Chain A
Amino acid sequence: MYSAGIQGNKPRTPYHEFYADDFTPRDHYRLLWDHIKATGNSALEAKAHESQLALRAEGVTFTVYGESEEGIERIWPFDLIPRIITAAEWVKIESGLKQRVRALNFFLGDLYGEQRIIKDGVIPPELIYQGRDFRREIVGIVPPGGIYTHVSGIDIIRDEKGEFLILEDNLRTPSGVSYMIENRVIERRILPEFFNKYRVRRVEHYPSLLLAALRALSPRGKKIAEIVLLTPGIYNSAYFEHTFLAKEMGIELAEGRDMVVVNDIVYLKTTTGLQRVDVIYRRIDDDFLDPLVFRSDSSLGIAGVINAWRAGNVAIVNAPGSGIADDKAVYPYVPDIIRYYLGQEPILNNVPTYQMTNVKDREYVFDNMERMVIKAVSESGGYGMLMGPSSTPASRKEFMGLVQENPRNYIAQPVVYLSRHTCYMDGELEARHLDLRPYVIYGEDIEVVPGGLTRVALRKGSLVVNSSQGGGSKDTWVLAE
């Protein structure tokens, strides 16, 4: 069974989600703990086996890209012990996320409009003008309702004191929501009796929330909204999710080559001829969206779609250009962005962040590299990152060179010992680090789905939870009041 306490000489002890101390579970875990104690490991083993079979039968997979060009498709790694978030904890997360997403959308509208925040000296202009994802091509275009990020998946971690902190804003094409739902489907099957006892709030309505938000954007009105999910295709690591969401929402799954723009109207090529498209839920990056205005070598996008968007004939979700707001070099300014547009203090704090353009910060980071995470600002999914504690002298040297060459491209954060949670690992209950990615939909109002994707670092002691780097997952239970 689980053994808590300080391990080795680690200076700080991560927060434990499940246990209050060595022997006592936190109150909201007691019911589950009693059950686990009563039924024992063999019952857990049976449940784990059952969940594996279910995942296989459902075909819940994801693709990992490594050294080779072709990805490897794997069964989604699921841990059967749920992560439980109390109603009170959720209130804070929910209000903090709504505040953040509202402010970031004001920020985007301002950047692509008047740029008051730059003129007022809150954001240094270099940050925006040297940002890869500031899209000059869309300056002056106002998307419907001034909303840019209809879907965001914001990563939250819990520090040693148990405080929820924002780690990353994912405002481009955040993935993982299908796994949030699949995890719930599996968990309902293997632990059915707990859902009522715990009054777990539902997450399965996510696709209908998203569909309503997409439908509301139709330039022809929501009654005749033809909606398409634009996927880069079967080789994309999130292709499972693209098919899942298209099926759940009952919308077309299409690739760029399945569509054509004629005189500023987007059409889907169907067996019965061209069919007008009103809303594109795109799961490809800006770079590839339109070869006419962005990368001309892209064969994934739709030529002319940005002009159709400018003409107001199609909605694109999330709006092109959203990526500048989740640029990791902009991230340290988000608390100021919240204060600037909303006149409020941030409800959820950032992780302390060092900017590599600042010489003092940079020197400090170089002197303490073993205790830092260094991240490339335009990368995601755990790529382009140095994890200090597990780094080698060679990799540290390499990153030092990279940072010096292009400081705007990197930030550093002190390693936060992510909170831990009990997991069922190969017949034993063991603690593993985890984070949380809740999903926020900005339609007529901002809605945070009560739950999210809890990602688990499966390797003992590891702090990297990304699925692409060998992370697992848990069902996430948010309790009703």
Chain B
Amino acid sequence: MRYLIEHETILEYPNTVREHHIELRLAPRSDGHQQVISCSIETEPASEMATYRDYFGNRVDYFCIIPPHTRLVTRLKSEVETLKENPFSFEAIPPSEEQEWLLKAVRNAPSMNDFVLHRSLLTPTAMKLADAITQAFPRRDKERPLLESLLELLAWIPTILEYRSGSTEVHGALVSAVAQGGGVCQDFAHLFITVARSWGVPARYVMGYLDPGISQIGETLTTHAWAEALVPGAGWVGFDATHNLLTNDHYIAVAIGRDSYDAAPQRGSFKGEASDAQPLVTVTMQEQVQN
């Protein structure tokens, strides 16, 4: 499918700020599941944009606004073709060989260790959640394919968390979402990642977009978040815990990381008084009819 994404972020400050440096992780990825047809980013005030690829392979666009200003707008416009129709179409390998497959994947690419070992407030040890979760944690059954255990985990998450818009802070501790029994898509993704890592399975965070026709979280469209786990035979498979779905061609991945902090769409640093106001974010995602 082909989508046109438009993503606008408006930051406003009560007093002037200056020496403002911004990094954006907004440009969608190009990989086996999706192809970027076009991508442009503009800013207001206008600026000179530079780019690099970060450790996780995300494209980072960065710029600075040095003179005093009270408003900063960034606008992304990108057309993306998605290719993954059936997430189950891969050649599975016998459960008895899966562990060796995973170990080898990590051995060959040491940076994969990050997706197994990383612990933070966002993706803590499963132990840290034990007090807040009274139900039994899902177990990985090594007799069966890993994918089955991961699907059980996916289905388990909505029994712990209920989707509540704006109920947790950006980059807030996972344990507080779990304790209150509700959170946003980030928390769902972090919980999935936390349990998968406790099984020794590489799992990572994905920030991106979901077709509003599929999304059940309603209201205004913003960025979405899900998890990816490394599945033997398949590679990275996307798990959208908020919707209890495997990701497919209705999803567009933008940035990945160990947790939401790594994949934050916009990061900045400036001199001046910080604003209490939330950034005003407007996202549209339209399916493009192809000729």
Q: Which residues of A contact B (CB under 8 A)?
A: 115, 118-119, 125-126, 128-130, 136-137, 139-140, 257, 260-264, 291-293, 296, 303-304, 307, 310-311
Partner of A126, one of B21, B117, B268: B117
A263 touches B64 (CB 8 A): yes
> What residues of chain B lie closer than 8 Å to A263, measured between beta carbons?
48, 50, 64
Cα separation A75 to B21 with both chains bound (whole Å) = 42
**Chain B positions 118 through 130: 1 when the CB is less than 8 Å from some CB of chain A, otherwise 0:** 1000000000000
Partner of B267, one of A125, A264, A292, A311: A292
Q: Tell me, rounded to whole Å, the shortest Cβ–Cβ distance linking A286 to chain B.
A: 15
Given A261-B21, A291-B269, A311 and B50 touching (CB < 8 A)? yes
Q: Which of A129, A140, A293, A307 has the most CB of B within 10 A?
A: A129
A129 touches B55 (CB 8 A): no
**Residue B35 CB within 8 A of the other chain:** no
**Residue B110 CB within 8 A of the other chain:** yes
Given A264-B50, A292-B21, A303-B19, A136 and B64 touching (CB < 8 A)? no
> What residues of chain A lie closer than 8 Å to B271, measured between beta carbons?
257
Across the two chains, which residue of chain B brings its CB closest to A111? B110
> What residues of chain A lie closer than 8 Å to B64, measured between beta carbons?
261-263, 304
Q: Tell me, rounded to whole Å, the shortest Cβ–Cβ distance linking A304 to chain B.
A: 4
**Residue B23 CB within 8 A of the other chain:** yes
The interface on chain B, measured as residues whose beta carbon lies within 8 A of the other chain's beta carbons, has a size of 27
**Residue B62 CB within 8 A of the other chain:** yes
Within 8 A of A (CB), among B120-160: none
Q: Tell me, rounded to whole Å, the shortest Cβ–Cβ distance linking A312 to chain B.
A: 12
Cα separation A293 to B21 with both chains bound (whole Å) = 10
> What residues of chain A lie closer than 8 Å to B270, measured between beta carbons?
303
B55 touches A140 (CB 8 A): yes
Partner of B269, one of A129, A257, A264, A292: A292
B269 touches A260 (CB 8 A): no
**Residue B164 CB within 8 A of the other chain:** no
Question: 5 shortest A-B CB distances, which residue pairs?
Answer: A303-B269, A136-B55, A129-B113, A291-B269, A303-B21
Cα separation A47 to B249 with both chains bound (whole Å) = 83
A260 touches B66 (CB 8 A): yes
A-B contact pairs, 30 of them (CB 8 A): A115-B111, A119-B107, A119-B108, A125-B110, A125-B113, A126-B113, A129-B114, A129-B118, A136-B114, A137-B54, A139-B55, A139-B111, A260-B19, A260-B66, A262-B64, A263-B48, A263-B64, A264-B50, A292-B21, A292-B23, A292-B268, A292-B269, A296-B269, A303-B21, A303-B269, A304-B21, A304-B62, A307-B50, A307-B52, A307-B62
Cα separation A292 to B50 with both chains bound (whole Å) = 15
A262 touches B52 (CB 8 A): no
A115 touches B110 (CB 8 A): yes
Q: Tell me, rounded to whole Å, the shortest Cβ–Cβ distance linking A284 to chain B.
A: 15
> What residues of chain A lie closer than 8 Å to B19, measured between beta carbons?
260, 303
**Chain B positions 97 through 116: 1 when the CB is less than 8 Å from some CB of chain A, otherwise 0:** 00000000011101101100
Q: Tell me, rounded to whole Å, the shortest Cβ–Cβ distance linking A50 to chain B.
A: 49
> What residues of chain A lie closer than 8 Å to B117, measured between beta carbons?
125-126, 129-130
Q: Tell me, rounded to whole Å, the shortest Cβ–Cβ distance linking B198 to chain A.
A: 15
Cα separation A128 to B117 with both chains bound (whole Å) = 11
Q: Tell me, rounded to whole Å, the shortest Cβ–Cβ distance linking A64 to chain B.
A: 32
Q: Which of B106, B108, B110, B114 has the most CB of A within 10 A?
A: B110
Cα separation A128 to B113 with both chains bound (whole Å) = 10
Q: Tell me, rounded to whole Å, the shortest Cβ–Cβ distance linking A138 to chain B.
A: 8
> What residues of chain A lie closer than 8 Å to B268, measured between beta carbons?
292
Across the two chains, which residue of chain A brings its CB closest to B49? A263
Q: Tell me, rounded to whole Å, the shortest Cβ–Cβ distance linking B112 to chain A.
A: 9
Within 8 A of A (CB), among B249-291: 267-271
Cα separation A190 to B163 with both chains bound (whole Å) = 76
Cα separation A291 to B23 with both chains bound (whole Å) = 11
Across the two chains, which residue of chain A brings its CB closest to B118? A129
> What residues of chain A lie closer than 8 Å to B269, measured between beta carbons?
291-292, 296, 303-304
Cα separation A140 to B64 with both chains bound (whole Å) = 23
Across the two chains, which residue of chain B brings its CB closest to A130? B117
Across the two chains, which residue of chain B brings its CB closest to A135? B55
Across the two chains, which residue of chain B brings its CB closest to A129? B113
> What residues of chain A lie closer than 8 Å to B48, measured between beta carbons?
263
Cα separation A136 to B55 with both chains bound (whole Å) = 6
Cα separation A263 to B52 with both chains bound (whole Å) = 13
A118 touches B110 (CB 8 A): yes
Q: Which of A128, A140, A296, A307 has the most CB of B within 10 A?
A: A307
Q: Tell me, rounded to whole Å, the shortest Cβ–Cβ distance linking A479 to chain B.
A: 46
